Amino acid sequence: MRVEERFLKYVAVDTQSDEASMTSPSTEKQLVLAQMLADELKELGLEDAHVDAFGVVYAKLSANAQGFPAIGLNAHMDTATDLSGANVSPRIVANYDGGEIVLNPDVKMGPKEFPVLKEHIGEDLIVTDGTTLLGGDDKAGIAVIITAVQQLIASGKEHGDIYLAFTPDEEVGRGTEHFDLEKFAADFAYTVDGGAINEIDYENFNAAQAHITIQGKSIHPGAAKNKMVNASLLAMELHGMLPVNMNPAYTEGYEGFYHLTHMQGECEQAELTYIIRNHDAEQFEEQKQFMIRVCEYLNSRYGEGTFDLQITDQYRNMRSIIEKDMRVVELANQAIRAAGLTPHSSPVRGGTDGASLTYMGLPCPNFGTGSYNHHGKYEFASIQDMTKMVEIISNVLLMAKEVSDQMK
């Protein structure tokens, strides 16, 4: 099966996660894809392909030769909460001509707004119908991994132990919450969860979520003087105290931000949810402390308990760990070069399960997928790029012994 065929099969399954859910996985529908993947891996002949109690898919391809390191490959099954992943209706724009793509009569995308499209002229692009996201993040990664393993098995070429894991709930920061490293006994691993196919990234945001519940006092507006406390207005006041320039729409590169992801409110009660991001650990802590001070100030003004702030750390920047032993990055660089591309590393303005796995003791930088504009209706995937990513992952698996020997 070609990589694009797998991808189109996977995006037909709605796997959106739910940050408000306390179950694992956060949504039962993720288990539909999980079981589909486990069944597919069994058919390919992988060992112990199964879905565990928490919705994680595990499988192993045993070595057919000595001297190779054990390599892990990971991608996540869930899609972002930003836009629906149900009833995805993809279509292929063959031989993209560089112009505007009409997703539906009301939604169009072109290279003026999305310059990345200029890099894919002449390629075959899989796009949405403008009403849902596509799911390339990270079903393109899943399709790439399984296709690479299928081709490796068919080739009969020598390889070491290969461990696969597909996780739920990465998009809500809980992808590795129940990850079992005993089942995933790799020496090192890679997530396939990025964009550009020449990327190998090993630094990401430090990440936290802040949830604020604001308690107001609802009184009939005709008798509200000196009595009413409008929680929705207090929520607006809090947001207005955050630095305007630390909005993700105004930041890039290493610049951190506060991002309001959810709000709801009435006079009696309001809720705000933010994600807090920064590559620098000290600045990240300063951002969290600033949010704490804002809420403390507002409580001193409106009464203790008016603002209830809960901050939850989600993941950390893996750079400080990976830099201690760059062999895992060098193997990736050589695999990319062998595919005819120039490797590039840049700070990921997001996170992957690999960051958490790295802090659990398993070095795990991140490859691209060949899909772009994630988390929205303008998402697209390049068939040629996904095919090239299959080649790059195959190179990693085949070159691991040679590169490992060179760097001893």
Each residue of 111-167: pLDDT tens digit? 999 999 999 999 999 999 999 999 999 999 999 999 999 999 999 999 999 999 999
CATH number of 206-315: 3.30.70.360
Give the chain's length: 408
Segment 90-95 long-range contacts (CB within 8 Å, at least 24 positions apart): 90/8, 90/11, 90/126, 90/127, 90/128, 90/129, 90/134, 91/126, 91/127, 91/129, 92/4, 92/124, 92/125, 92/126, 92/127, 92/383, 93/124, 93/125, 93/126, 93/127, 94/124, 95/122, 95/123, 95/124
Both tokens of residue 240? 């207005």
Q: pLDDT-derived band of residue 406, with 50, 70 and 90 as boundaries?
A: low
Digit-coded pLDDT (tens) for 70-126: 999 999 999 999 999 999 999 999 999 999 999 999 999 999 999 999 999 999 999
Q: What pLDDT score was predicted for residue 323? A: 93
Task: Using the predicted structure, report yes or no on whether residue 408 has a pLDDT greater than 80.
Answer: no
Show Cβ contacts of residue 314 under 8 Å, excluding neighbours closer than 6 positions.
Answer: 173, 207, 208, 209, 275, 351
Task: Enumerate residues 6+ apart whose C-beta is below 8 A from 245.
Answer: 251
d(CA 384, CA 150): 18
31: which 2 tokens? Answer: 């288990």
Half-sphere exposure of 2 (CA within 13 A, CB side): 9
pLDDT(405) > 70: no
d(CA 235, CA 215): 10
Q: How far apart are CA 144 and CA 388, in angstroms?
A: 9
Q: What is the mean pLDDT of residues 316-320?
A: 93
- Domain borders along the chain are 3-204+317-406, 206-315
d(CA 87, CA 62): 37
**Catalytic center residues:** 78, 170
Give the predicted TM-score (pTM) of the model: 0.87
Cβ distance 57 to 166 under 8 Å? Answer: yes
CATH number of 3-204+317-406: 3.40.630.10
Q: Across 238-242, 317-321, 400-404, which has the greatest mean pLDDT? A: 238-242
Provide the phi-psi class of 102: left if phi over 0, else alpha when psi is between -120 and 50, else beta.
beta
- Which residue type sits at 223? A
